[in-house]
Amino acid sequence: KRKCPICRARIPPSKEMVATLHAYRAEKQLLEDNNDTSSERYRDACLLLKDAEELIGSDWDGVTVLEDNNDKPPVVMPDYITKAIREGDIKAFLRWINANRKEDRANASLTIDTVSIPALSAATACGQLASMTHLLQLGANVDGRTIFGGTAISYAFEGELEDVNNKVKLLLSWGASFFPERDCSREGCVSEARKSGHHEVARLLESELGG
């Protein structure tokens, strides 16, 4: 349960959290309708739903959600800036961001095979630590999510150990959160780090900094 640090009032769930909750409920119901209640998929659905319900809290009224002050769709990044992000051409993308400060270009998205990915997640996947740092300093949302729910930290486990370690440390230092979905949960990230042989990163994620 989340509370305001000043008044301690209960903070309602975000629209995204509610959408996730409904999706897990629908998935569980569909499996039950198909009498598929003994499969691993059903067990996973139950666990994910339980996590989502605990995150939102049993006292939620089922109606109130956190108001989103930014209902505008994200700025779409032009192809040459997408290339700059991938290649770590910091000067090019900084020029583009600063060319129009009225637009929230630090949270722009790029499109790969019709899938929209936040710039920070793309820079993380490409191992561009300097670009990640600049984006965060310019206001990129450390928990910005793709259409499939992935966040920057779920893209951090590719590459050499030192690179992965630095990416994870940077994102955690900026307050990266974990979410109920397996790829975005703490347990899922720890598992992915260990599977990739990044045991130091796994310990980091399990540490106080990772919490």
Report the interhelical angle of 199-206 vs 161-173 (nearest 10°): 20
**pLDDT score of 68:** 55
What pLDDT sits at residue 63? Answer: 73
What whole-number distance in Å separates Cα of residue 179 and Cα of residue 185? 5
Block means of pLDDT (10 residues each) for the chain, length 211 residues?
54 70 82 88 85 78 65 81 89 92 88 75 91 92 80 82 87 86 79 85 76 51
pLDDT at residue 97 in the model:
92
Q: What is the pLDDT of residue 67?
A: 59
